Amino acid sequence: MKRLLVFLCILVASLSTLAANPYSGDVSLVVIDAGHGGSDPGAMANSLVEKDLTLSISLALEQELEKRGIDAMLTREDDTFLELQERCDIANGADFDVSGYPVFISIHINSASSPSASGFEVYTRKADRRIAMLSEATSDRLALKYSSYTNTQLNSYEMKVSAQLAENICSAFASAFPDVNMRGVKSEEFWVLNATWMPSVLVEVGFISNAGEARRMADDGFQRTLASAIADALEDL
Ligand SMILES: [Zn+2]
């Protein structure tokens, strides 16, 4: 009997630890990061500028998420220059409902010297280059959410959610645009992925250097459908 009691106590303790996974709830805030801005135009080709496309896509995504009742915020709402770390500081200090968790989505446009290069890809960070998720700079809300975990645990949870979000975005995009070349999920040492303390992905929507993709990305209808695909991906997490 005593042994059964001990077993039950262990079981309850493990279940409550599982339930307390900081990413077990819903996404309660989406921080949308429009790449480049101000004095940093990003890539330019086919009479288009990356910083303008990333901003209009980010605004379309914010609108779509708000329509679905998902809290969203932008790191920049106009043509402003922001350092990469400033973007991360905005995300890391953001207010969110602690029954869920925040995610960070950075929007960029690709470019290549070959005008035929094309396609959609999503980046996650590399496993071995994460800064401590709990440090003196962690916001009170994130610290409250993360305080019962070690940095190693948080990293492993966060990596899984980021990978799943990247997969979801690729499959939602492939359903919405079956004719676009799908380059898939990749990982890279991007500052905004390494220095945000939450699941984070960087989306490369298409190639500005490819005339057909540039034209498509500038289209309102494309931007709205893309926003809806990303919102679907977030709801499926
Ligand atoms: Zn870029």
217 CA to centre of ligand 1 in angstroms: 14
pLDDT tens readout for residues 55-105: 999 999 999 999 999 999 999 999 999 999 999 999 988 989 988 999 999
183 CA to centre of ligand 1 in angstroms: 17
202 CA to centre of ligand 1 in angstroms: 9
Cα separation of 201 and 103, whole Å? Answer: 8
136 CA to centre of ligand 1 in angstroms: 30
> C-alpha angle 7/13/14, rounded to 5°?
90
35 CA to centre of ligand 1 in angstroms: 5
Task: Judge whether 104 lies within some domain.
Answer: yes
How many domains does the structure of the chain reveal?
1
Contact 193, 125 (CB under 8 A): yes
Give me the mean pLDDT over the 137-146 stretch: 75
Task: Give the pTM.
Answer: 0.89
Task: Judge whether 127 lies within some domain.
Answer: yes
Is residue 153 scored above 90 in pLDDT? no
Is residue 199 scored above 50 in pLDDT? yes
Which structural domain, as residue segments, surrounds residue 176? 27-235
| Of 3-7, 85-89, 92-96, 212-216, minimum mean pLDDT range | 3-7
pLDDT tens readout for residues 22-40: 888 899 999 999 999 999 9
Task: Judge whether 9 lies within some domain.
Answer: no
CATH code of residue 102? 3.40.630.40
Task: Judge whether 200 lies within some domain.
Answer: yes
Task: Judge whether 5 lies within some domain.
Answer: no
Is residue 18 scored above 90 in pLDDT? no
What are the CA-CA distances from residue 2 to residues 7, 15, 41 (Å)? 9, 20, 68
Task: Judge whether 15 lies within some domain.
Answer: no
Confidence of residue 151 (pLDDT cuts 50, 70, 90): confident
Among residues 162, 177, 168, the alpha carbon closest in space to that of 230 is found at: 168
Task: Judge whether 197 lies within some domain.
Answer: yes
Task: Judge whether 2 lies within some domain.
Answer: no
